[in-house]
Amino acid sequence: MAQLPSFNRSMRVALITSLALAAGCFHAFWRTNPVALSRPPAGTIGTVTISTPLKAHLVDGSTVIFRKGASIGHVAVEGSGERFAFARSATSRPVSVVPFDSIVGLETFEGKQLTAQSVVVSTAATALTAAATVGLLKAIFGSCPTVYADTGTGPMLEAEGFSYAIAPLLEQRDVDPLHVRPDHDGVVHLELRNEALETHYINSIELIAVSHPAGTRVVPDQNDHLVVVDGLRALDAAHDRSGRDVLPVLSSSDGQLFASAASTVTAAHDGDLEDWIDVEARDLPPGDSVAVVLRLRNSLLNTVLLYDGMLGGRDAPGWLDANLQRISTAIDLAEWYTRTMGMRAFVDGAPRAASGEPWHARLGDVGPLAFRDVAIVLPRPTRDARSIRVRLRFVADNWRIDYAAVAASMSRPSSTTIPLSRVIVRTPDSTGVASNDTAAVAALREADGRYLETMPGQRMTLEFASSDASAAHGTATTYLIAWQGWYREWIRGRWLAEPARTVAWTPGDGAMLAALRRWQSRQSEMEHAFYSTRVPVR
């Protein structure tokens, strides 16, 4: 071994000791510690390219159309766009960058001739769109078309239509009971509004009149078939999954609403998202079925699922178009939604339904705005069974229920369809001229390939000429609206700037649980915003 010059034994010891200490230091320096990962800031999310045509509605009332799609970057939508001063004006100028903060809403639109539905646009739409724009920023949430009726105390919200039909393939028909009465000429007036940041495509609207014995009620059942219920009576017991006695809340229609217990919502997890209510009715008269009659609406859980889940990423325009236009993907979504959402009823001791479905009846979601009266018609465990126990199962906190009762006597009524006779549109300028929009009438008369397209802020009066305004002695007439369509949600500029998700959205318990947690943390804030802000109508 060669001797190191001028190194003596003590120096060697010191060097070795130093190296050992240094090695110890280095060892400590490189030790791996677990560190919690956080979501990357929105600004670092990559650019998303959308190949479908896009339409951006801007805060100043103008519209930019990107016919060949666009790139959604960190702060703006970029592409080859045409800017129109108003939605349907003829002249445009080129534009390539539209900052998120100038966008009220971004929507996809059909460039196809064959698959796009034929659309008829009301003559007043252009002016209304521009006029309503000033108020758009106040509208935080939206939800489908609404109808109002003057029942003597001013316009009252009567119904909301096809709440979750967010794509053409998901077009839906709803039947909603109304409290409206004909005027002295036998004409029923309803006001149709678009109070949301959405484009509505309404295929048909008609009025249904049902004459029935006074003292009975007409409501749609879980399949939107009409049923006359008689001898409505209170439930004998009602308990939710947490064990709460919810009968006092459900026994009268007084605005006191059932909502899932906080413990049930907190306990929800992947694989078990449910809450339920067990209802019992005893001493029933003979019969083979019963109707559980409910007055209810949805909570905003579905809305959170839509806004923060499905539409919560920068890929949302592409998801809405490419995914929901793909038949197999739309089927996947519909299968999951049917299996998960809505309300499923199971009757203790009754044979399994002939349809092969695991539940005896399923009620679809009805929307978060207007309460709907509905009957869930169910088989008894055995013919003439005197008591029945029903479990109503649903995703925790998906429902707000005002009232529940049971009817042992029911029948299928005959009904009269009253076609739409006029659509009165009042122009928003100073003249305020009202005119019958015959194109809108033609579009709404039949559920066919013709649609009425409405934009935020638009409203119109629907008139139905009822042939018989007066009910015979001992009878009453109930009116219901049957309407069909779908809507396209506007993807807000704010959602693009601060996306709620950075990975692709897929239907499943995970997505539902994420929505539930977000809903749980923001419930009061969202409810206040939702119910206090609407697009003002003109």
Under the rule (CB under 8 A), what is the footprint of another protein? 112-115, 168-171, 173, 204, 223-224, 322, 325-329, 331-332, 334-335, 338, 355-357, 417, 447-449, 482, 484
Residue 506: CB minimum distance to another protein, A: 12
Residue nearer to another protein on the CB measure, 307 or 483: 483
Q: How far apart are CA 62 and CA 85, in angstroms?
A: 4
For 90, list phi and psi in degrees, rounded to 5. -85, -30
CB closer to another protein, 101 vs 448: 448
For CA atoms 315, 532, 60, 144, give the dihedral sign: positive
Reference 258, options 247, 267, 249, 248; nearest CA is: 249
Smallest separation (angstroms) from another protein to the CB of 489 = 19
Shortest distance, CB of residue 175 to another protein, whole angstroms? 9
Q: Please, what is the minimum distance in Å from the beta carbon of residue 361 to another protein?
A: 12
Nearer to another protein, 227 or 401 (CB): 227
Closer of 100 and 483 to another protein (Cβ): 483
The residue type at 263: S
Question: b vs e for 331-345, b when ≥16 Cβ sit within 10 Å of the residue's Cβ?
Answer: eebeebbeebbbbbb
Pick 51 or 253: Cβ nearer another protein: 51
Tell me if 165 sits within 8 A of 487, measured CB to CB. yes
Shortest spacing between CB 529 and another protein, in angstroms: 32
Could you tell me which residues come within 8 angstroms of residue 312 by beta carbon, excluding any fewer than 6 positions away? 495, 499, 500, 501, 505
CB of 145 to another protein, least distance (A): 17
Q: Which helix (H) or strand (E) holds 445?
A: helix 438-445
Nearer to another protein among residue 262 and residue 334 (C-beta)? 334
Q: Among residues 456 and 485, whose Cβ is nearest to another protein?
A: 485
CB of 450 to another protein, least distance (A): 11
- Say if CB 458 and CB 194 are below 8 A apart: yes
- Minimal distance in Å, beta carbon 303 to another protein? 22
Task: For residue 227, list its beta bridge partners.
Answer: 219
Sheet arrangement for strand 409-411: 217-220, 226-230, 409-411
CA-based nearest residue to 509, from 235, 323, 253, 309: 309
What is the strand order of the sheet 372-379 is part of?
Answer: 233-234, 399-407, 289-298, 372-379
Q: Between 357 and 468, whose beta carbon lies closer to another protein?
A: 357
Rounded CA-CA distance 302/64 in Å is 30
